[in-house]
Amino acid sequence: MTTLETSPEKQQRDMLGQLHLNEGITEHFVDAGGIRTRYLEAGEGPVVVLIHGGGAGADSVGNWNAVIPRLSDAYRVIAMDMVGFGETDKPGDDFVYSQEARNTHLTAFLDALSLDHVILIGNSMGGATALGVAVAQPERVDKLVLMGSAGLVTEVHEGLAPVMNYDFTRHGMERLIRALTTEGFEISPDMVAYRHEMSVRDDTRQAYGATMSWIKQQGGLYYEEDFVRQVRVPTLVVNGKQDKVVPLANAYRFLELIEPSCGVILPHCGHWAMIEHPEQFAAVTRNFLES
């Protein structure tokens, strides 16, 4: 494990003048089952692991930078880049970017850091990944937060087109961000530039294409409902009221399927509660974790 506050990757981002890590957050890499994995870390206390979603350009910095300081005064907060995203490895053509592969990667990441009692917080694809590990290894997951989470059968509808058919242009990135946020959300040029730059690297493009292809072949990103029913850890379900990607019906269905669950619906919020309303999301999360 190496702290990389002056890594070439970070220097490149700083030169772009886009997103900077908030004070107190450090950047590290670890070998997780043979996959070189980047993660951010801040704070001390019970361990919270943040897992970003699967939109183009997603990573731990762009998705969680505003939430980490709002939790790290009381928790050891770790935000990882999933396989195929951010600064984490993008394995070659023989690697299948399946949900099982993401679950295996998260498990290997927890093993690499010797984390046995964690709180998993996942958005979208990251929620499906957190859910899968919570079912497979309930003894090491103390609590679970599913925010705009994938994991249930959802029609691959027109609202998903900017994500599923992302064209790697700046305009395409603007369309993607608009699809994941509410109309009133102000999209900053820095956000567009950062996510676009992250998305157009050759290895990232290949990984993203393979990931979306797998999802299309499966007809979505979901588990069978009997699998979801196996979640036994206390779970908070959070959904944006205006989420155009994961409908409110899915949040209610998670609550029906997961017995030890409660839910919060955030108004004036789309798919990215952690970006659109980081303070409110952190507040409801802390209330759940401390209850």
Clarify whether 167 is annotated catalytic: no
The single residue of 28, 72, 89, 124 carrying the catalytic annotation is 124
Clarify whether 124 is annotated catalytic: yes
DSSP three-state, residue 2:
strand
Beta carbons of 239 and 147 less than 8 angstroms apart: yes
Spatial CA neighbour of 55 closest among 202, 191, 253, 225: 191
Clarify whether 243 is annotated catalytic: yes
What tokens does 40 get?
Answer: 């951010």
Measured CA distances, 108 to 51, 79, 115, 266 (Å) = 14, 15, 10, 33
Measured CA distances, 137 to 68, 107, 233 (Å) = 25, 9, 10
What is the C-alpha to C-alpha distance for residues 286 and 267, in angstroms, rounded to an integer?
18
Spatial CA neighbour of 110 closest among 48, 171, 185, 25: 48
| Residue showing tokens 């450090």 | 26
Query: Radius of gyration of the chain from Cα atoms?
Result: 17
The DSSP bridge pattern shows strands 2-3 and 47-51 to be: unpaired
Beta carbons of 182 and 270 less than 8 angstroms apart: yes
DSSP three-state, residue 93:
coil
Enumerate the active-site residues: 124, 243, 271
